[in-house]
């Protein structure tokens, strides 16, 4: 049963510390999305990658957030330094997009999320 | 830009009651429409989808019809169960794009 996995599931840290969240997309998927979920803002798209290249990170605060895909099986989202307002659940999702037009081929599959609390 | 508006929750129902969760959208072009469900402590799962006007998506007793004239995609179920308690998200994907635009979610609470 193919699933998106995320680690850690829960993270509590102090303001100013670096936080790294990891995601393993479903094997064979070429598109990875990072979302943030808060009660106030709901689900926000932070960034997404296709074939490991960043396509859009306009939803991400650039001064402290960074997202990378070191290889096809790992995506990372890093916050440095972390702030209390970063407290949220961070979801990774993966999907398969085919063709030069970027027409989506299948749904986005979500991981279980990382619940981040910054004190 | 694209946007999705859902009715605010929580929606509180007794088991076997009829469910409607309203969803309307604003989009340029011809979007595909989706309902996702999030159970406590889990990620989102696709519940159903519709890709063109008048299409009806259905799954697990839930249904939604793509209404272009009213730009709506309301979720319905004839008889809810306690196990349907979750947060439901309406979303759209505009043609030619792979990103989703989500509504804020509607919490459903079903009591025995």
Cross-chain CB nearest to B98 (options A43, A102, A111): A102
DSSP secondary structure string for all residues of A24-88: EPPTT--EEEEEEEETTTEEEEEEEEETTEEEE-TTS-TTTEEEEEEETTEEEEEESS--GGG-E
The pLDDT score that the predictor gives to residue A107 is 81
Residues with Cβ within 8 Å of A73's Cβ and at least 6 positions away in sequence, in order, are A24, A25, A27
Q: What is the pLDDT of residues B19-33, one digit of tens each?
A: 999 999 999 878 999
Chain A neighbors of B34, CB-CB under 8 A? 107
| Phi, psi angles (nearest 5°) of residue B82 | -55, -35
pLDDT of A99 over the 70 cut: no
| Phi, psi angles (nearest 5°) of residue A63 | -70, -25
pLDDT of B59 over the 60 cut: yes
Least reliable range by pLDDT among A29-43, A66-80, A90-104: A90-104
Distance from CA of B45 to the nearest CA of A (A): 7
The pLDDT score that the predictor gives to residue B16 is 96
Distance from CA of B103 to the nearest CA of A (A): 8
- Yes or no, beta carbons of B46 and A93 under 8 Å apart: no
Beta bridge partners of B95: none
Phi/psi-derived region of residue A42, left when phi > 0, alpha when psi is between -120 and 50, beta in every other case: left
Chain A neighbors of B97, CB-CB under 8 A? 102, 104
pLDDT of A84 over the 90 cut: yes
Please state, for a pLDDT cut of 70, what percent of chain A lies above it: 92
Quote the mean pLDDT of chain A: 91
Mean pLDDT of B12-23: 97
- Yes or no, beta carbons of A102 and B45 under 8 Å apart: no
Chain B neighbors of A107, CB-CB under 8 A? 34, 46, 49
pLDDT of A91 over the 70 cut: yes
Distance from CA of B31 to the nearest CA of A (A): 12
Mean pLDDT of A19-45: 94
pLDDT of A104 over the 70 cut: no
Query: Which residue in chain B has the smallest CA separation from A47?
Result: B99
pLDDT of A103 over the 60 cut: no
């Amino acid at each position: 049963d193919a699933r998106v996995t995320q680690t850690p599931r829960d993270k509590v840290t102090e303001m100013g510390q670096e936080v790294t969240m990891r995601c393993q997309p479903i094997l064979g998927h070429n598109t990875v999305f990072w979302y943030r979920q808060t009660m106030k803002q709901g689900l926000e798209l932070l960034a997404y990658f296709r074939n490991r290249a960043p396509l859009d990170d306009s939803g991400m605060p650039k001064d402290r957030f960074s997202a990378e895909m070191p290889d096809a099986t790992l995506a990372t989202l890093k916050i440095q330094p972390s702030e209390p307002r970063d407290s949220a659940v961070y979801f990774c999702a993966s999907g398969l997009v085919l063709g030069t037009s970027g027409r989506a081929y299948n749904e986005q599959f979500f991981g279980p999320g990382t619940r981040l609390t910054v004190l | 830009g694209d946007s999705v508006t859902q009715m605010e929750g929580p929606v509180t129902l007794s088991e076997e009651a009829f469910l409607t969760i309203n969803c309307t959208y604003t989009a340029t072009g011809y979007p595909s429409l989706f309902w996702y469900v999030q159970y406590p402590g889990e990620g989102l799962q696709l519940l159903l989808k519709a890709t063109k006007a008048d299409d009806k998506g259905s799954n697990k007793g839930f249904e939604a019809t793509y209404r272009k004239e009213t730009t709506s995609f309301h979720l319905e179920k004839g008889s809810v169960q306690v196990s349907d308690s979750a947060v439901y998200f309406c979303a759209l994907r505009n043609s030619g794009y792979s990103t989703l635009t989500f509504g804020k979610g509607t919490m459903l609470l079903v009591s025995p």
